[in-house]
Amino acid sequence: MQDPRSFRGMAVCGFAHPGSELRRELTDLVLAGTKTATAGLEVEYRLDGDPTPTPGTREAVIDAEGRFVAVIETTECRVLPMSEVDDEFARDEGEGFADAADWRRAHERFWNGYVDEIRDRLGDPAWSLSDETLVVCQRFRLAEVYPEPLPPEDPSGEG
């Protein structure tokens, strides 16, 4: 999920919703090097006007408090139907998914938690998740960790 700010010329991203316990957990997994993949709905990328990450794309990671904590670099990105997410990708998300079915149940629960917002933004009250729903499957590496998180009020990182 991209943030509208930029940091040192990079897009800003956070995992899950701002301020949530899930964002804290996922950020910790990224910082530990356990989480090396993430998935997002392609429809949200379109609605937000965000480009699909490409290999070499660097993004500044923000934590639950909005502080800059790391930089990730995309190593691979594929857009595919939800039904084609495989076991390897599910495990690379680093969240303990046993397989793609486990991954799908968790992600459907998460995305359905705000499906009405997506429907409103699309102007389509019937939109729903399905086997054909396109998912942006991004693999990344941890490129840099900031020893001291940089506060959100200093997005330049310079002072």
Is residue 79 pLDDT above 80, yes or no? yes
Token pair for 104: 């799908």
Is residue 122 pLDDT above 70, yes or no? yes
pLDDT tens track for 16-42? 988 999 999 999 999 999 999 999 999
Residues 89-115, mean pLDDT to the nearest whole number: 96
**Total-model pTM:** 0.87
Cβ-contact 35, 93 below 8 angstroms: yes
Q: What are phi and psi of 151, to 5 degrees?
A: -65, 150
Beta partners for 62?
A: 68
Domains and CATH numbers, the chain: 2-150 (3.10.400.10)
Is residue 120 pLDDT above 80, yes or no? yes
Beta strand spans in the chain (E): 2-7, 10-13, 37-41, 58-62, 68-81, 134-150
High-pLDDT (> 70) share of the chain, %: 92
Is residue 60 pLDDT above 90, yes or no? yes
Query: CB-based contacts of 128: which residues, under 8 Å, 6+ apart?
Result: 115
